[in-house]
Amino acid sequence: MRSVLCGLVLAGLAVAQAIDSRTEADLAQIRATTWDLLAGQFPQHGTAWWEARARQCERQLTQDPGNHALRVDLAVAYLSLRRFEEARAELQRVQANKPRPEWVLWNLGIVEVKQGRFAEALPFLRAALDECSFLPSTQAAQYFVDLIAWRAGERDRRPAGAELMLRDEPHMAAVVDPLLEMVQDQAELIFYRADLATLPRIREEDIVARTGFVRAWQMAPNDDRIRSRIRSDIEVREVSPLLERARAWVHEFQRVEAEMLRTTPVDEVDFKRVEAELEARGIRRFNPLESEDREDRPPAMITAGLLVLFLLVGGLLLWRRNAAAKAARR
């Protein structure tokens, strides 16, 4: 399980912000563009899913009370439902056992982080990272711990590094995003990710950068650095509806997920299945990089338009041929 922790301590936070036996599978099913990540338009389990998950774990633990991994799953469900004391109690029960799943220490730290208890979180997070000595990105892991230390008052300044990581390794955006979100500093990350969107290789996707600036400003309206990157109030009015559409998609995702849970076991209601159901109902993610005209125009209207155009052109050609024939007879 060491390799699972190594990969998920960094990437897994984007979804559950804690690690359980489902995290790896959930992450594997997430597909998202840079704009999706900026706007928050990607699958996220809703309250109904976590409640069903908690009930399932509780039932299974009555049959197998010594299943430590299952107890960690229950703790993560409680954590996602903000039932912090219950989550901590379940994790502490597992912590007392050896061997224990390696993500117990990490999750104990996350319980504290999500309550703003950064000093209390540090020992758990540091111990978890010490046990996982071959992380795929030690830089990002240490950056997260440094952020927590900064929030705990152990550091005078916010740790530098996010901008450099994003510029040198664009794929790190999906890693740094949840780390900053965990320490209540979302605007900083979104500001840097918007910077990333302006790099030459994706400069043609200007809407990505503008979305980043506006969303960051919405989160930190008093940050003059971010406001200065927004060209005008018109830009805010243009981008704000796009962010609303992203939020609406997530709302629909969680609504359909809750609906499916009425007839389907929670184990079978995964990201891929829910999004497939959404698409079957004609509910697709909004993509601002596509033409609005193309997106909003029904296929039937396009077909009718082409038919009218064909008839007009055909009629014109027929009229010219008849006119030419009459002229030749004269």
Same domain assignment for residues 92 and 172 = yes
Q: Which are the contacts of 166, defined by CB distance < 8 A and separation ≥ 6?
A: 172, 173, 176, 192, 193, 195, 196
pLDDT value at residue 93 = 93
Kindly state the tokens that stand for 160: 């530098």
Same domain assignment for residues 292 and 315 = no
Classify residue 156 by its DSSP letter.
S
pLDDT digits (tens, 9 = 90+) for 8-45: 333 433 333 678 888 878 877 888 777 887 788 889 89
Same domain assignment for residues 98 and 38 = yes
Kindly state the tokens that stand for 309: 């155009």
Same domain assignment for residues 98 and 166 = yes
Same domain assignment for residues 228 and 308 = no
- Averaged pLDDT score across all residues of the chain: 76
pLDDT value at residue 273 = 97
pLDDT value at residue 158 = 74
Same domain assignment for residues 287 and 307 = no
Q: What is the pTM of this model?
A: 0.74
Bigger pLDDT: 215 or 308? 215
- Which percentage of the chain shows pLDDT scores above 70? 64
Cβ atoms of 10 and 128 closer than 8 Å: no
Lowest mean pLDDT among 17-26, 71-80, 164-173, 224-233: 164-173
Same domain assignment for residues 257 and 320 = no
Same domain assignment for residues 47 and 176 = yes
Question: Total structural domains in the chain?
Answer: 2
Q: Residue 300 above 90 pLDDT?
A: no
pLDDT digits (tens, 9 = 90+) for 247-276: 999 999 999 999 999 999 999 999 999 999
Name the residue range of residue 311's domain: 299-330
pLDDT digits (tens, 9 = 90+) for 93-151: 998 886 666 678 889 998 998 888 999 999 998 888 877 653 445 566 677 788 888 88
Confidence class of residue 4 from pLDDT cuts 50, 70 and 90? very low
Bigger pLDDT: 161 or 157? 157
In angstroms, rounded to a whole number, what is the distance separating the alpha carbons of residues 108 and 120? 9
- The C-alpha angle with vertex 270 and arms to 49 and 38, in degrees rounded to 5, equals 85
pLDDT digits (tens, 9 = 90+) for 129-140: 877 653 445 566
Q: Residue 92 above 90 pLDDT?
A: yes
Same domain assignment for residues 231 and 318 = no
Same domain assignment for residues 233 and 314 = no
Same domain assignment for residues 317 and 244 = no
Same domain assignment for residues 190 and 304 = no
